[in-house]
Structure 1
Amino acid sequence: MPEKEAKARIKINKLLEEAGWRFFDGENGKANVLLENNVKITEKKLDELGEDFEHTVNGFVDFLLLDDKGFPFVVLEAKSENKNPLFGKEQARRYAEAQGCRFVILSKRSFYVN
């Protein structure tokens, strides 16, 4: 993982923890954040994204936040500053649909990196 991406993830992790999200089971409850969760995307949906999308039917949600019953709730996708934000939005939306999530948070990594 490139250094800039690693620093961004550390900052996002800290912000999520400060907001009460948990990466590990503990005294405050079960973990409710999954990292790099694998998502299957149908070939039809992949084709709708265009030629610039990663050429795979599998993708990985950067952060998948779970509700209090352990079901997928929010997809948080962090994109580097050199990626088109509309591309990231569509990718995150597809992940959310595949996971049955109601919400998407899209972040530009440069926002979190000093």
Structure 2
Amino acid sequence: MSDFQVDLGALRNVQDELSTYRDQLRRHAHAAQELINSVPHSTAPKPDPVANQMRREYRSLAGSETGVRGLLEDYIDELDDMIDLLEDTRRAYSAGDLNAIEQLSKAYGEGH
């Protein structure tokens, strides 16, 4: 018999902790988007090319494709995948435990 054991409660605790981190990152991603949206356009009577270029650069660095917000979204996706994997693992072990109990019940019931 193997000494390998799975603590389903601990697995659930890890899922909950990762979910908390993911939710925090979602709030940061939302805040980053709010900051991106708040960068003003040049509204002077004559457009200010420096201000407009700075706005474009800021949006690029903070943006959702290759910027900070994009990195946050990628990390959120990774956490979602990890949480799903842990849930699948927990369900598989739970189902395996139920199957083992059923098999033992059958074996014990048939022998007596």
TM-score, normalised by the number of residues in structure 2 = 0.22
Asked which structure has the greater CA Rg, the reply is 2
User: When you count strand as a share of all residues, which structure comes out higher?
Assistant: 1
TM-score, normalised by the number of residues in structure 1 = 0.22
User: When you count helix as a share of all residues, which structure comes out higher?
Assistant: 2
